A and B are shown apart, each in its own frame.
Chain A
Amino acid sequence: MTPDGEFYQRDRNLHPPAYTPDYKTSVARSPSYALISLQNSVGEITGPVFGHDDIDPIDKDLLSNYARPGESPIGERIILHGHVFDENGRAVPNTLVEAWQANAGGRYRHKKDTYLAPIDPNFGGCGRTITDEDGYYYFRTVKPGAYPWRNHVNNWRPAHIHISVFGEAFAQRLITQCYFEGDPLIPICPIVQTIPDQEAIDQLTAKLDMNSSIPLDTIAYKFDIVLRGRRSTLFENRLEGN
């Protein structure tokens, strides 16, 4: 095997830096030395491969994957859907996408979450799926609620869904959050604002997608995810592959 398939250098100007004092927890958890830059070797250009045996079809349906028979969670029913691309605009097929979120009241099903909003007995709050051949994924869920958190005295997280994506290699591994168009909490959230680039924030803001909604059932939001692009070895007989 030739050691091709390195990834484009990560553009650190659109990612949050490690140390962001307005998001207070980062203060003691941010490395202070510069990262050491590596050219990718085999451990970075490879990553775990997942198949449909790993997950169940119901895992992507948060409306039913924890609900009691015949019941469903409280809240605005939504479809969150989109494509996973790389920076070359190529679809990333067969990759694992995982999601977790608070319920419609803004409460997580976690023993450490003590927010006053109630736990929803029919909502677990996590799901997972594998992108299809075109890099497409979708989840059914409820729109999460905003909730307060201990940072500054009066901080509220905008509604958000945490998203984890693997891509084809360990170097592409990404965890991010999906926000929702029109939320007035986005510009004042210290976690969102760790991102130094407004265009990058907009890229994490899902758009209302009426054309994909299901009348009288579920409203849709479109959220595309972009992973790092991959270099390839130049082959003269495969120029279009570069």
Chain B
Amino acid sequence: MAQHLNYLRESASQTAGPYVHIGLAPGAAGFDIYKHELGQDIAGDAALGERIRVEGLVIDGTGSPVKDVLLEVWQANSAGHYAHPRGGGEVEEGFRGWGRVITNFETGEWGFDTVKPGKTRGRNVGMQAPHINFWLVARGINIGLNTRMYFDDEEEANGKDPVLNLIEWQVRRPTLVAKRSERDGIPVYRFDIRLQGENETVFFDI
């Protein structure tokens, strides 16, 4: 008989449930308990690069906005470095690159302010186009969903991006590309995430 491999097994995921906000973003949910709320300032005041706003909806299979979802975002700074020892380089003071975003409980709209990330190294060769990593949890989502948001004004970099190019169905690639417009002089990127149905967003097993 062969020997056992003595690996442990990952704890199974469970839905974050309808009340994820009281646990992870209690201040934003109007529940005052902690001195410091985590994940509210993504880039910090000292971050270099273009200041942008990102907005959207998460839409379910019936076409309705999901109003109880919590999104986490993780991104590089404008030089393409993540705020982590393995992140590729130094980042500006106060740049965290991580944020927690909750929806408006009535409309489902969410949004956050940050700086546009730079290109980052690909896994093997080449550079990845600027992108923001997303992770979504909510009632009815049994395991957090990973996706990425790219920028529609980075057409050339997007065309060479190893991850976008991995998506065999070219018609699905645009589900990861946010559309740029401008409001009060600030660039606003619109990124609607569709959990199911027509134009279902591409989600990743990372």
Chain A positions within 8 Å of B, measured between CB atoms, are 1, 3, 5, 7, 10-12, 14-18, 20, 23, 25-33, 35-50, 54-56, 59, 65-66, 85-89, 96, 98-100, 108-113, 124-126, 128, 162, 164, 169-171, 173-177, 191-192, 194-195, 197, 199-201, 203-204, 225-229
Contact = CB atoms under 8 A, between A and B. Distances in A.
B64 to A, nearest CB: 8
Contacts of B86: 1, 5, 42, 45-46
A20 B142 contact: yes
Given A23-B140, A46-B86, A203 B12 contact: yes
Interface string B171-206: 010000000000000000000000110001111111
A66 to B, nearest CB: 6
A38 B133 CA distance: 13
Interface of B: 6-24, 26, 29-31, 33-36, 38, 60-62, 64, 66, 72, 74-76, 82-88, 96-98, 120-124, 128, 131, 133, 135, 137-146, 163, 166-167, 172, 195-196, 200-206
A42 to B, nearest CB: 5
A66 B166 CA distance: 49
Contact of B9 (A26, A29, A226): A226
Given A16-B12, A43-B82, 7 more contacts: A41-B122, A42-B76, A46-B86, A128-B34, A170-B146, A175-B20, A175-B137
B87 to A, nearest CB: 5
A1 B88 contact: yes
A89 B6 contact: yes
Contacts of A7: 206
20 contacts: A11-B9, A15-B12, A16-B12, A16-B14, A29-B138, A29-B195, A31-B195, A33-B203, A36-B166, A41-B128, A46-B86, A48-B74, A49-B83, A98-B24, A100-B24, A112-B18, A124-B26, A169-B84, A200-B11, A204-B12
The DSSP consensus for interface residues of chain A is loop
A185 to B, nearest CB: 14
Contacts of A199: 9
A140 B74 CA distance: 31
A162 B38 CA distance: 18
